[in-house]
Amino acid sequence: MLQISWNNYWTAVAIILVIYYLAIAVLYYRSEIAAKIKKQMQAGSEDLTEKEDEQMAAPTSFNELETIVANIKGTLEEAGTEAGKEELLDRLGKILASYDGLDTPAFRVAINNYIIGHAQKICGTGFTEEELNRYWLAIRA
């Protein structure tokens, strides 16, 4: 005869009951479970679509950034060494006033670094990043 303890018996009964009720729940709530899974899959695909849209927008932003940098370089060369700091900021502000890339930290840092380096070389005027950030905030307000 088998020697099964009461502990083993109740464990087996509990496991069988859990499996039984899970099977009944799956059969009874099949449509609700399928709808929930479908909803989660659609939400996941929407996230992927948003990421793809952001990636498609990035090249346009880089092209726009290159255009802005070319305009900045032209402005700095046009101003030459005669222009003062305020005049340069005003000229650069006119170029960057309509540029939405200043809201993106990476683009703002790139533009600031470009201006800091090239304004010193071309115009002999030094800017700090804090000065430029304050001015960009002022023209955005």
Q: Which of the pair, 134 or 43, is modelled with greater confidence?
A: 134
Question: What percent of the chain is modeled with pLDDT above 90?
Answer: 19
Which of 62-71, 80-89, 99-108 is predicted least confidently?
99-108
What three-state secondary structure class fits 38?
helix
What three-state secondary structure class fits 51?
helix
CB-CB neighbours of 114 under 10 Å: 16
Does pLDDT of 52 surpass 80? no
CB-CB neighbours of 39 under 10 Å: 10
Q: Please compute the mean of the pLDDT values over residues 97-112 and round it to a whole number.
A: 81
Domain ranges of the chain: 6-140
Per-residue confidence (pLDDT) for residue 9, from 0 to 100: 94
Do the beta carbons of residue 119 and residue 125 sit within 8 Å?
A: yes
